[in-house]
Structure 1
Amino acid sequence: MSAHPFLARVRRTLPAWLACLAFAAAACPASAADPETPVPRAPDPAPKRLTLFEAVGLALEGNLDLRVERRGPMEAMATQQQARGDFDPVWETRLGTEYRERLVNQYDAESRRLFSSLESAALVDALDPETGLVGELDPEQQSLLEESIRSADLRVREFEEETRSFRTQLSQLLPFGAEIDLVATEIQTETTLTRELSSTGLPLSPFYPDQHEALLYARITQPLLRGAGFAANLVGIRVTRANKKQADAQFVTAVQRSVAAVVRAYYDYAYARDAVEVLRESRDAARLLLDQTRTRFEQGTIDMVEVRRTESELAEREDGLLAGQNQAVELRNALLRLLFNRPDYMGAGELVPVDGVPDPERMPDHDFEVLAAKARELRPEYATLKAEAEAEQARLRYARNQLLPEVNLVAGYGLRGLDESSRAVADRVLEDQDRHEWSVAVVASVPIGNREARGLVGRARARVQEVEDRRLRVDAQVRMEIANALDSCRSTAERIRTAAVSRQAADATVAAETLRLQEGQTTVFVVVQAQKDQRIAQLRQLLAELDHAKSRVALELACGSILDRFGIVVEGSGAPDRGPSMRMQKTGATRPDPS
């Protein structure tokens, strides 16, 4: 059995392929297969310098939390527009047709002709030629008329009736409670009685002609007590307007908190970087001290114990430096998380804060009452409470109106026309040839007890008082926050001054003990302890500066002036599809503290 042609071709060409692979492996340089050969690395991204103003701007630009909070004012604006829709005109139109099969009692044609002839003769005889008036009928003629129409001559007839109607109406509710209706109707009625003709071409039932009826009517309903006035009808608009103010104030609160969070994260990261530098300098000082200690050990001036002690101190400082670097990376990531949607910053190898902490010598205004007054003006919580008070006052006025009895004045006027065609009846109505109609009525409704309205008033009063109590509580809370932040600013400023003195003393001690060690007048242990004290003093000064910077942020947040520091202006939205916007001053550095 012969092999498949493809398999035979593979057997023939396989040795040649193996030879090519072996030649290619031999031609490759040995260094390519050497695992110890270093692989070229891409250069680390260049450090990015970031000012505090830039950090705040980036955070506000891509902050997802603010994007969510912006939906609140947009929803409130849409609700306000919906409330205004109660006063939009409403146009309603109806076009329809109806078909009915009906029955009617009708005398036969012979009885109707006899009655008509006798009635005509009797009227002629009763006519007074001098006055032209018809007098009383003769008793004999009256008897003949009554006998000409006999019940036995009545016939039940079936006929079909078709009615086509058109109605259009425009209604409008006015802000003071009046409701206006403008109505136009036309009704066309046709029956089979009209279409039936005699042999002479005359209708068999002339008493049932086709007819077209038109009506133009205007009606106004004006409440006189309950439901009258702007307080009873604009409550929805006023409440939604107040809700819009609350939503705007809540958005401002979110912006302030976001800015405060960015500033705190910026200062935390700046502190961590400075602390790393302090720890690195301390590590380098320990290395230098270890080199000096080993040299002196080789010279035989000190024991091996001093070398081991210095090595242990160096290892401890290396560990502290690694921990500080790890903390700096975590704080850097925390800051970058606040700068949403910024891939150019997220990929930075190193982020360098440019701005330092505020100068403790430039403290804000120390007057507590001035700061409290500024907080009442700028804190969004007060704007929220003011808007809630407006909404509850509007509800209270509406509830008081509901205590009144319902008395409505209803008035209407119309023109009505009747003819055989639509055009004819329209001409009669427009030319004022037909009947006028008008109506005036007073409709009263008095609920016995009216417990629902009384309960509504009691609830509204309770909520008004609740808003006032909450305002007092917020005022006390704000004053406490200002007092705490102001005391913290003062205490941290004092801590900075004392920490600076302590650091200067520690620097002088390290310099003196190092010189004494070189002269052989002290031990390595004393120098190591002096360096530890120096490092602690430096970190304590940095921590005091960080706490002071955060205290300034807390004071600005308590006074509501943190947005003024960066020139941030929040503008409300004017349409439901566009939320509030923010503007910042075009400058690269932060402004001085406005407070």
Structure 2
Amino acid sequence: MPDNSIHKPVFRFLASVLVLALAACSSGQPPLPTKEMYPFHPGDFDPSIRPVETFIEQAEPTLPITEDNVLEISIEQAIVAALNNNRDLRVQRLGPVIAGTFEQIERGIFDPEVYAEYSYFEEESIETSRSTGTQFSVIGEETEAVAGLRQFVATGTQIDLNVTQSGSESNRAPEQQTARAGLTITQSLLRGFGPAVNLARVRQQEFATKASRDQFRGYAETVLAETEIAYWNHVLAHEEIRIFKESLDVARQQLSEIELRIEVGILPEIELAAARTEEALRVQALIDARSLLEESRLRLLRLLSPGGEKHFDLDVITTSEFRLSTEPLDDLEERLFLAVKLRPDLQEARLRLQQERLETVITRNGLLPRLDLFINYGKTGYADSFSNSFRELDQDNYDLTAGLRLNHFLGNRAARARNEAAFASRQQAAEAVANLQQLVKLDVRLAFNELERARQQIDATRKTRKLQEQTLNAEKERFGVGASTALQVAQVQRDYLQTQIAEVEAMVHYRIALVRLYLAEGSLLDRRGITVGR
């Protein structure tokens, strides 16, 4: 028979545990960050999280920085450095990792779940006998424990296997122990039936993960293209500095010759103004060129991110040759086919379309009524002790419940609206793929046209520079015999300077146009021997 004096300490113990648990929860919150605290929390960087990696053939681990704080770098080394160190790329590498976690979340609904519950009930009351009218006290207690395993299967089946043990005891009835082992199966027959609809969310997240990888691939290609373009722009800036310095030396040499001729009376003093003006213009152009060189250096270092607190102070010396032999291209159709197949943004758009198609599978199934078949079968054992109740499960006692459960919204407007929106989104995604495919082909054609223009300009500017050099030599000879003026010579020298710059620009622009063509067709990473980790 239960004794209240025994259970009062139990209640006090449970109350104490509850108070301690609440106190632990209230004191376990981390403090709010303040300005005095560090800007990054140590938990911000988890070594167990592996971002998507990029692999490049024959990659060198470090940048060749000399003791004089000079970075001598080739185009291949610049590519490796950008892929390994670029901060923007590091941010994007975690995108596929995050997308992959959502795939696991959707798969989690098919994980088996273990559950357990225990309850205790105690009662003390006064009851009146119906036959005699006398009152008597009733003291009793009941316990119940349930443990089980349930799982949802992709066919739309919910399986629940459980074991229940309950016991009751009072001063008016003998002790009774009951054990039950049960199996419940619920099968969806209309809405929620079959793997096609129940695995749709998982498939959607699989496509989302693949799309995230394509998105990262596209971003990596963009960073790679920006790095190569920045490298060649820095090469161009160096070449322009060299040309401007040479032209300034020529202008100063010509100024000295004119001053000498004026002193000996061969030329009038009015010729001096044109020579000095030309020298000033060369100095002005050199100042602008140095500014452009500094800008290109900073932009290149930003993409390379070589590390260190003063990496922007590095002096960059490029070692790759910008001159190359060129041949006309006649494979436009092959490049268009390649772009439609490889462009990361187009691949991503196709995967998004697949996601929308799966969404219509879900919403179309949502139009159906909910009809479930359920079966509940159990074996029960009754005894006067805990152990004997489980032994009695071998007896012929059993219970079986089977039936159908139906529910459906009249009108079903919410499901119809979701289905209509899903089909509209699917059509929108299909139109987006068609539009993007057209834009991809346009990008390739424009890049192809620009490459051909740059190729033709190389020969044209080379011929122009040679002819302008002959014109300059002829003008100098005329000036030497007094048939020309210093102003005319300066103008011809200025034109010759422009042809020198144009020739170098044409060769560098061809390099850049080639990179942009590879970027437009989506083959830049492959052509550089780079693969994106899976």
The answer, yes or no, to whether TM exceeds 0.5 is yes
1:362 alignment partner, SS class: coil
What are the superposed Cα offsets for residues 372-412 of structure 1, whole Å, 9 maximum, x if unpaired? 21111111112111211111111111112122222211112
2:134 alignment partner, SS class: strand
Alignment partner of 1:96 out of 101, 119, 122 = 119
1:355 alignment partner, SS class: coil
What are the superposed Cα offsets for residues 291-320 of structure 1, whole Å, 9 maximum, x if unpaired? 222222232211222233222221221221
What are the superposed Cα offsets for residues 536-595 of structure 1, whole Å, 9 maximum, x if unpaired? 1111222223333332222111101111232111123xxxxxxxxxxxxxxxxxxxxxxx
How far 1:435 sits from its partner (Å)?
0.9
Matched, 1:298 2:263: yes
Matched, 1:157 2:136: yes
TM-score of the superposed pair, with normalisation by structure 1? 0.75
How far 1:227 sits from its partner (Å)?
0.8
How far 1:523 sits from its partner (Å)?
3.5
Q: Which residue matches 2:27?
A: none
Alignment partner of 2:474 out of 497, 512, 520 = 512
Matched, 1:45 2:76: no
How far 1:219 sits from its partner (Å)?
0.8
Q: Which residue matches 1:354?
A: 319
Alignment partner of 1:79 out of 83, 88, 102 = 102
Residues 104 and 44 of structure 1: CA distance in aligned 2, closer, same or farther (over 3 Å): closer
How far 1:231 sits from its partner (Å)?
2.1
2:147 partner letter? T
Alignment partner of 2:381 out of 389, 405, 417 = 417
Q: Which residue matches 1:187?
A: 166
How far apart are the structure 2 equivalents of 1:44 and 1:78? 45
Matched, 1:323 2:346: no
How far 1:47 sits from its partner (Å)?
4.2
Q: CA RMSD in A?
A: 2.2
How far 1:516 sits from its partner (Å)?
4.2
Residues 175 and 269 of structure 1: CA distance in aligned 2, closer, same or farther (over 3 Å): same
2:502 partner letter? R
How far apart are the structure 2 equivalents of 1:525 and 1:444? 99
Aligned positions of 1:243-262 closer than 5 A: 243-262=208-227
Residues 349 and 68 of structure 1: CA distance in aligned 2, closer, same or farther (over 3 Å): closer
How far apart are the structure 1 equivalents of 2:96 and 2:314? 39
- 8 A contact 1:48–1:348 mirrored in 2: no
How far apart are the structure 1 equivalents of 2:314 and 2:223? 25
What are the superposed Cα offsets for residues 444-497 of structure 1, whole Å, 9 maximum, x if unpaired? 223322222222221111111111100111011111111111111112222222
Q: Which residue matches 2:85?
A: 62
Residues 186 and 270 of structure 1: CA distance in aligned 2, closer, same or farther (over 3 Å): same
How far apart are the structure 2 equivalents of 1:358 and 1:462? 53
How far apart are the structure 1 equivalents of 2:464 and 2:360? 64
Alignment partner of 1:337 out of 302, 306, 311 = 302
- 8 A contact 2:106–2:205 mirrored in 1: yes
How far apart are the structure 1 equivalents of 2:202 and 2:67? 59
Alignment partner of 1:527 out of 489, 492, 503 = 489
Matched, 1:445 2:424: no
- 8 A contact 2:457–2:506 mirrored in 1: yes
How far apart are the structure 1 equivalents of 2:291 and 2:532? 37
Aligned positions of 1:28-43 closer than 5 A: none
User: 5+ unaligned residues in a row in structure 1: which ranges?
Assistant: 1-42, 108-150, 194-207, 573-595
- 8 A contact 2:185–2:375 mirrored in 1: yes
Q: Which residue matches 1:427?
A: 391
Q: Which runs of 4+ in 1 moved over 6 A?
A: none
Higher mean alpha-carbon deviation, 303-312 vs 499-508, is at 303-312
2:398 alignment partner, SS class: strand
How far 1:94 sits from its partner (Å)?
1.0
Matched, 1:564 2:529: no
How far apart are the structure 2 equivalents of 1:495 and 1:99? 97
1:455 partner letter? A
Matched, 1:287 2:252: yes
Residues 349 and 382 of structure 1: CA distance in aligned 2, closer, same or farther (over 3 Å): closer
Aligned positions of 1:193-232 closer than 5 A: 193=172, 208-232=173-197
Residues 93 and 169 of structure 1: CA distance in aligned 2, closer, same or farther (over 3 Å): same
How far apart are the structure 2 equivalents of 1:359 and 1:564? 21
Q: Which residue matches 1:475?
A: 437
Residues 45 and 518 of structure 1: CA distance in aligned 2, closer, same or farther (over 3 Å): farther
- 8 A contact 1:48–1:345 mirrored in 2: no
What are the superposed Cα offsets for residues 155-213 of structure 1, whole Å, 9 maximum, x if unpaired? 342211100111112110011110000111111111022xxxxxxxxxxxxxx211111
- 8 A contact 1:360–1:548 mirrored in 2: no
- 8 A contact 1:44–1:349 mirrored in 2: no
Identity rate, percent: 27
How far apart are the structure 2 equivalents of 1:539 and 1:449? 74
Aligned positions of 1:481-496 closer than 5 A: 481-496=443-458
Which has the larger Rg? 1
- 8 A contact 2:167–2:176 mirrored in 1: yes
- 8 A contact 2:377–2:398 mirrored in 1: yes
Higher mean alpha-carbon deviation, 165-174 vs 507-516, is at 507-516
Q: Which residue matches 1:386?
A: 350
1:330 partner letter? E
- 8 A contact 1:80–1:237 mirrored in 2: yes
1:476 partner letter? Q
How far 1:425 sits from its partner (Å)?
1.2
How far apart are the structure 2 equivalents of 1:345 and 1:494? 42
How far 1:76 sits from its partner (Å)?
0.8
How far apart are the structure 2 equivalents of 1:524 and 1:305? 9
Higher mean alpha-carbon deviation, 447-456 vs 467-476, is at 447-456
- 8 A contact 1:502–1:537 mirrored in 2: yes
2:99 partner letter? A
Higher mean alpha-carbon deviation, 493-502 vs 439-448, is at 439-448
The alignment of Structure 1 onto Structure 2 pairs a total of residues equal to: 469
How far 1:369 sits from its partner (Å)?
2.5
- 8 A contact 1:336–1:345 mirrored in 2: no
Matched, 1:463 2:425: yes
Matched, 1:176 2:140: no
Higher mean alpha-carbon deviation, 454-463 vs 175-184, is at 454-463
